[in-house]
Amino acid sequence: MLAGSIFMSGLDRMPDAPATPTDESPAIERFLRDVERRALRMAEFATGSREEGLDLVQDAMLGFVRNYAAKPSAEWSPLFWRVLDSRINDWHRRQRVRGRWLGWFERAAEDDEHDDPIATAPDPGEPGPLARLADSEAGVALEAALRALPLRQRQAFLLRLWEGLDVADTAAAMRCSEGSVKTHLSRALANLRNTLEKHR
């Protein structure tokens, strides 16, 4: 009962999804089916590769089922995203180590302390950077802008605004304070807006 109600928003957002859960499906399978596509896209944004993304999602599913399946279903969502976030962080850490050894550098800087969210705050009356783009162009521009974001900003944007977690659950998923979530999100919005402005 509870599981069905908390998964409803994801299904509402994807009414055409063919993988409609059945009543016979165990609740945990329905939950994973509900989040798996968004999880893949999130992992794909983080890694830049569908293969790597699929590996991370499978790993996250395994870890989530092994460690948290016995928890109340109302707690599953932040726990699942926490496991996936942890896998994504591990992946980035491995890439950094590998990059250090091979002399490569990561595309996106992790430290974004120099951003000033107030200076880049949007004008509320303005239609926004995606307003004049067709969906296909806007989709490509958005993906490029998301991939260019620092990891923590991207995770804050995706978990908070796409997945719809509240600040507390986003903080739990990202293992940081609620204040950090707000800061990361604010910077993510400013950076996305600035990047997308170039596509107008």
How far apart are CB 99 and another protein at their closest, in Å?
27
How far apart are CB 27 and another protein at their closest, in Å?
11
Alpha-carbon dihedral of residues 102, 108, 111, 116, nearest 10 degrees? 160
How far apart are CB 136 and another protein at their closest, in Å?
8
Shorter beta-carbon distance to another protein: residue 90 or 106: 90
Of the chain, the end-to-end C-alpha distance in Å amounts to 45
Burial class (CB in 10 A: 0-12, 13-18, 19+), 129: buried
Pick from 97, 113, 117, 102: nearest CA to 189:
117
Distance in angstroms (rounded) separating the CA atoms of residues 185 and 32: 26
Shorter beta-carbon distance to another protein: residue 47 or 77: 77
Shorter beta-carbon distance to another protein: residue 74 or 109: 74
Which residues form the interface with another protein (CB under 8 A)? 6, 9-10, 12-14, 16-19, 26, 28-29, 32-33, 36-38, 40-41, 50, 54, 57-58, 61-62, 64-66, 69, 77, 122, 124, 127-131, 134-135, 138-139, 142-143, 158, 161-167, 169, 189, 192-193, 196
Shorter beta-carbon distance to another protein: residue 96 or 147: 147
Secondary structure letter of residue 122 according to DSSP: P
